[in-house]
A and B are shown apart, each in its own frame.
Chain A
Amino acid sequence: MGGSLGRIWVLAGATFTQLVRMKTFYFLLIFCALVALAGSLNIMAYNAEQQMKLVKDVSLGAMSLFASIFGIVATAMLIPRDMEDRTLYTILAKPVPRVEYLIGKLLGVLMVIGVSLAAMHLFFSGVLYARQEMLLADDMTMMADRVDLTEEDVQSYAERVREQGVTWNLVNATGAIFLKACVVTASAMVISTVATTSLFTIIVSVLVFFIGHVQALARTYWVDVEGGGVVAKLFSALVALVFPDYQLYNVIDGVVSGEWIPFGAMLKLVGLTAFYVGIYTVVAYLVFAEKEL
């Protein structure tokens, strides 16, 4: 068991290094520029809350996009690239079970996504905090002249603004983005074990990604709608059973609007993700175990 974990860790580390050498972290520079731009926009008609919402929207949107695209593309490229470089044969010639190879690769990709999201989260929180304090200072100066406001009112306003700024809830949002990326990556891994080219994996994974965002509609039609055609019911059942529900991970819209994600809800999301990743790894292994390479 210890040896198995050790091998997985070595494979994950090697995958991480391989991806870092592909200069994937350059995306972070683009992200920083984007967030800095959103943070410096000064729209006169926007109040503090709306200005901060814009920074959160742009930052979390870019993080979500990066995590999902990276999860698909990196996973699609890894196995074919290992075959091209003949690294795969060297690894599998050693006593490394194929399931460990798959888990190692998956972990490596998730580590790069995790590190990138952590770096983006820190940068974006810094920009948001600076913006929050700047806007608050401006508003406080204006409020100081208003005789109808008590000290309590001013403090209450400051609290409201801070609730829209840097809070622990943003960590939950970044966590949800990471969890979604885990499922996207694991599903791309399943597809890459069936596929023969990276392009096929990318195209099919992107399709799965989009269908996953409307899976809930099919599920509702299958489970809740009475009547309807047999073919339509069968089709919606198939979509609901085969495709993951990515909408469950899209909690960032709620977070940006100021809704709080309770700890229990986060735990459920973590559990569902573990379930997805576990099953997808089993499925990927079933296909990959005796695949002719």
Chain B
Amino acid sequence: MTRPGYAQLQDVILDPDFPELDLALRRGRHVDRDDVAWYALLGDAQDHLEAFYRRYGCELIHKPDGYYYLLPTGDKLSRRQLGAGDMLVGQALALLYLHPSTIERGGLHTMEELVAQLAAVMGSDALIHAFHTKKRRYDERVAQKAVRSRVGEAVRRLAALGFVELVEPEQLRLRPALLRFAEPVRGLSEPAEALAQLVARGEIALEEDGAATGDDGAGEPDDDDDAAPEPEPDDDGGNDDGGAARDDGDDGDDP
């Protein structure tokens, strides 16, 4: 795997692309073939870098779909879980990535198509409950606007992690790392078994039973000014956000 130019780890570290790549990987960036220079560097120096990052309690993962990422398995480097909203958006993007329509446009899709995909699979009510409020009565127009806004925020977070690329404000280029969202259902084994294996490897974390999308408590505190105009006494009054990521408790700092 290691090309002659990288005979030693020192050679890799001295590569001009290494500092940026290293920082990106530590911040959760997924690197694929479209990141030409980084992907080539990772491919050429994979052996050195796997050993290098293992010392920080991380695994440098290379998937056959053509992307790399860093997975902290110890407590030396911070680790986070994607929020429930980000997970829903990621899975919808993965569905779009697999759909033949993606071929026609070279992997480009619009935000509108993404929201349509979410609504088609989950249903509009479930979508609003997941991204906006769990109230039974709500202002439909405000709720739809809020959903679009939350989906947009999730897409921006996923773009920072290298799952998609924001080409224009309304256009997304889907990237191979999206297939991570399909990992539990990719193999021939039962999804439950696949999930258990992924949990054991530290790739994913299972949500608590009954922890629905919106009330995971992980979201940022939200104002409720755009919720339904009629207050409901039995409601918790809070807005639900599954968007933000959850910190697994940080620990280490950069060396």
Q: Do the two chains belong together in a single complex?
A: no
Q: What residues make up the interface of A, taking CB atoms closer than 8 Å to B?
A: none
